[in-house]
Amino acid sequence: MKPSEVLYELRELNQAWRKQDFAFTREQKARYDTLITLRRERVKYFYANNMVCKVSKSAMDKLKEED
């Protein structure tokens, strides 16, 4: 499954969840758990392979000064 398909399906499930008074059916909950697991694995892959933007210390200091 492509990463974009995972996100798209998660968005659809989120909309269905809202329409169903904030509750999933058993099938929806199982599908949601599967998709979340796939998404988390993908994010872990990015962190493991240094594919995530990391803020430098000087940039972090500027952000703290602005707040």
pLDDT, position 19: 97
Q: How far apart are CA 43 and CA 26, in angstroms?
A: 26
Domain locations in the chain as residue ranges: 3-66
Nearest to 36 by CA among 67, 61, 11: 11
pTM of the complete model: 0.75
Which band of pLDDT confidence, cut at 50, 70 and 90, is reported for residue 64? confident
Q: How far apart are CA 14 and CA 26, in angstroms?
A: 14
Report the percentage of the chain scoring pLDDT > 70.
99
